[in-house]
Amino acid sequence: MGVTRVLREARRFAAGRAGAGIVGVSGGADSVALLRALRSADVTLVVAHVNHRLRGAESDGDEAFVRELCAGLGLECRVLSADVAALAAGDNLESTARRVRYEFFARVAGAVGAGWVATAHTADDQAETVLHRLIRGTGIQGLRGIAAERPNDAFPGVKDGGRPLVRPLLAVTRADVVTYLNELGQPFRTDSSNADPKFTRNRVRHELLPLLRTFNPEIVGALAHLAEHANEAHDIVIAAAADLLSRAERPPAAGTLILDAATLRSASPGLARAALRLVWEREGWPVSDMTFAAWERAVSVAGGSASACDFPGGVRMRGAGKVVQLTRRA
């Protein structure tokens, strides 16, 4: 069953994807399975591996394993060794590592002329992501979880020329992956940091999901379906929000964005919030720094119940008679 599902997803992906691609391979089970499956599907591949230098000899062992695996498969392997801890310099280590990976994947794709970048996220990753976001507090946007395909340059700091980031195994469970590798007799590496309980995601994986399986053995599939439905609902909301924004927006003046107040107030608070989020995203303002409370304050200004408010990144929003003005300090 594992072989069938993993290969079926890889072949379905390969059938609709032209040209060569980059596969991010850490050496773990998921990425090794993706590599072997896409290789079996006769996809032209270049492997990209990042040694984050966070686990000493273990990280070096991962790199050596991936190099040897690629040599055995006759595939080109490009490696980046990066001192992620130093690069983080007090910032979030996980987000810094993610940025370094996707920047490297983009550079490799550009260097070899690849048309897409693939990572090995599975249905289990999807379930963990949805739960993690629920714990932290999220809306419908966060419930969408991991996208099956998205622009790689949607990540901060990544410039990728429009090459999509794809997840061919997003419908495959981790159990399917392990079964597939066992039947191939293919070894893989295990990242010891994945068992460290100081990371919330690890506790979600090793404590919360097993508990939820006692309530619903198919909890991974249930959460994956929730993400799919949230994505569909989100698309509907975004289309309506884009229409609202197009009707509300007026020509800017001296660097100030101007929105018609009456048009914003004619919409529901949720739709107005979605339209304002589109403004933040389009202008490149710090969306990730906007909390739920901050968005509520923005809706209050748009709705006329507050006169002005300052937001992260130097963004200021204020009501001025018949219009709402948005500016950002340089």
Q: Is 45 helix (H, G, I), strand (E, B) or coil?
A: strand
| Residues forming beta bridges with residue 24, ordered by sequence position | 48
Q: Is 166 helix (H, G, I), strand (E, B) or coil?
A: strand
Q: Binding site membership: which residues?
A: 26-31
Q: What are phi and psi of 202, to 5 degrees?
A: -65, -40
206-223 pLDDT, tens per residue? 999 999 999 999 999 999
Check if the beta carbon of residue 226 is closer than 8 Å to that of residue 232: no
Mean pLDDT of 164-172: 95
Question: Sorting pLDDT into bands at 50, 70 and 90, what band is 1?
Answer: very low
For all residues of the chain together, what is the average pLDDT?
92
Question: Sorting pLDDT into bands at 50, 70 and 90, what band is 177?
Answer: very high
Give the pLDDT of residue 158: 65
Q: Label residue 228 exposed, middle or buried (CB < 10 Å: 0-12, 13-18, 19+).
A: middle
Q: Binding site membership for ATP: which residues?
A: 26-31
| Residues forming beta bridges with residue 165, ordered by sequence position | 117, 150
Taking the C-alpha atoms of residue 275 and residue 301, their distance in angstroms, rounded to an integer, is: 13
Q: Give all domains of the chain, ordered by start, each with its CATH number.
A: 2-121+145-194 (3.40.50.620), 254-328 (no CATH)
Question: Sorting pLDDT into bands at 50, 70 and 90, what band is 226?
Answer: very high
pLDDT above 60 (res 49):
yes
98 contacts: CB under 8 Å, gap ≥ 6: 155
pLDDT above 60 (res 3):
no
Tokens of 160: 């990728």
- What percent of the chain is modeled with pLDDT above 90? 75
Q: Centre a 10 Å sphere on the Cβ of residue 284 and count the other Cβ atoms it contains.
A: 10
